[in-house]
Amino acid sequence: MKKKFIVKHKYDFDRIIKGCNRKKNDIFIIYSEPNNLSYARYGISVGKKLGNAVYRNRKKRQIRSIIDNFEKDYIKRKDYIIILRDKGKNLEYQELNQKLKSLLIERKDQR
């Protein structure tokens, strides 16, 4: 994922989360907000309670990979914050893929 597709700053995270357009399931919480860009941006958060830095970075890499593989299916011109919940701690890549994809594809239908 290129740097321009990533939400990095705390003030952007806060703005998107306060925008309160939220969708969730048992594994993920996804906040979204429209942006003025021609592409979507993604911020990923994995809490410290889920594991050490190595584990959290591994989960973030898996989520980025899922986004890269299915990016054409998601709504453009939006910022997304994706938060991994406690129940997603022990899931493998394929299960994370299925849960995240179903949640983001539903977001496209709701426009």
The candidate with the shortest Cα–Cα distance to 79, out of 25, 8, 2, 24, is: 8
CATH number of 3-110: 3.30.230.10
Domain range summary for the chain, segments of one domain joined by +: 3-110
State what percent of residues in the chain have pLDDT above 70. Answer: 91
Which residue did the predictor score with more confidence, 85 or 101?
85
| Residues 28-44: tens digit of each pLDDT | 999 999 989 888 899 99
pTM value > 0.75: yes
C-alpha dihedral over 102, 74, 27, 64, to 10 degrees?
A: 130
